[in-house]
Amino acid sequence: MDILDRIKKSGVKDDKVVKVVEEMKKAGLKILKDEEWREEDGLMLKEGKVYVPKDKALRVEIIRLHHDTPMGGHGEQ
C-alpha cells in the first residue's frame, strides 16, 4: 500500500481535523476557510499540503522514507 493510501485509511483522528471535516460536510463544501483546508481525492490538505494524522507509526515511516536518501544526506554512499 502506498503512503497516500495509508494516510487516507489511518484510523487515528485529530479532534481539530475532525471538526474541520464535519464543518465542511455540513456546509457541503470541498474548501473551507479561504482554502486553508481542502478535501481532495480522500485526503485532507492544509494550505496545499497533505495533512498526516497523528499516527506515530505513519509519521515515522514518512520521515524514514524522506530522510534516508542520498539527497537527504543520510543514505548509503
> What DSSP string runs through 5-42?
HHHHH-----HHHHHHHHHHHHHT-SEETTTTEEEETT
Q: Residue 44 has what pLDDT?
A: 86
Q: Give how far Cα 74 sits from Cα of 36, 40, 61, 63, Å.
A: 33, 32, 15, 12
For the chain, what are the domain ranges? 3-67
What is the grid cell recorded at 55? Answer: 499516527
Poorest-pLDDT segment among 25-29, 34-38, 53-57: 34-38
Residue 74's pLDDT is what?
Answer: 52
Query: What is the overall mean pLDDT for the chain?
Result: 80
Task: Tell me: pLDDT of 48 over 70.
Answer: yes
Pairing of strands 31-32, 43-46: unpaired
pLDDT number for residue 68: 63
The pTM of the full predicted model, rounded to 2 decimals, is 0.65
Q: Is the pLDDT of residue 45 over 70?
A: yes
